[in-house]
Chain A
Amino acid sequence: MTDIAIVAYQQSDCVSDAGATNEVELIMPVLQRTFAQAGLTNAQDVDFVCSGSCDYQQGAAFAFVLGVDALGAVPPIKESHVEMDAAWALYESILKIRMGHAESALVYGFGKSSPGELPIVLSQQLDPYYLAPLWVDTISLAAMQARMMLDQGLITERDMAEVVARSRRNAKSNPHAQVNGDVSADDVLAEETYVSPLRRSDCCPVSDGACAIVIATVEKAKEWGKPYAVIKGMDHRIESHNMGMRDITDSQSTRLAAAAVGVNDGRVDVAELYAPFSHQELILSKALGLGEETSINPSGGVLAGNLLMASGLARVGEVFNRIVAGEAERGIAHATSGPCLQHNMITVVEKA
Chain B
Amino acid sequence: MSEEQDMITDIEVPINLKYNFTAGAAATRFLTQVKKGVLTGQRCPECAQVYIPPRGSCPACGCATEEEVELADKATVQSFTIVSIPIPNNPIQPPYIIANLVADGANISFLHLISECVNEDVHIGQRVQAEWKPEEEWTHAMDNIRYFKPIDEPTVPVDMIGKLPVTGLEG
Contact = CB atoms under 8 A, between A and B. Distances in A.
A73 B47 CA distance: 13
Interface in A224-238: none
B30 to A, nearest CB: 12
Interface in A186-233: none
A120 interface: yes
A72 B55 contact: no
Nearest to A116: B19
Nearest to B28: A20
A19 interface: yes
B25 A70 contact: no
Nearest to A43: B62
A25 B17 contact: no
B154 to A, nearest CB: 31
Could you say which interface size class chain B belongs to?
20 to 34
Given A31-B62, A72-B62, A24 B19 contact: no
Given A20-B28, A115-B19, A116-B17, A72 B63 contact: yes
B21 A25 contact: no
B13 A132 contact: yes
Contacts of A60: 21
A59 B15 contact: no
Contacts of A71: 59, 62
A115 B20 contact: yes
Contact size range, A: 20 to 34
A139 to B, nearest CB: 16
Contact of A115 (B21, B57, B58): B21
Given A116-B18, A121-B17, A22 B62 contact: no
Given A20-B25, A22-B24, A22-B26, A28 B59 contact: no
A59 B17 contact: yes
B18 A117 contact: yes
Contacts of B57: 24-25, 28, 69-70
Contacts of B21: 59-60, 115
Interface of B: 11, 13, 15, 17-28, 55-64
21 contacts: A20-B24, A20-B25, A22-B56, A25-B26, A28-B57, A58-B19, A59-B17, A59-B19, A60-B21, A69-B57, A70-B62, A71-B62, A72-B63, A73-B59, A114-B20, A115-B19, A116-B18, A116-B19, A116-B20, A120-B17, A129-B13
Interface of A: 19-25, 28, 31, 42-43, 56, 58-60, 66, 68-74, 114-117, 120-121, 124, 128-129, 132-133
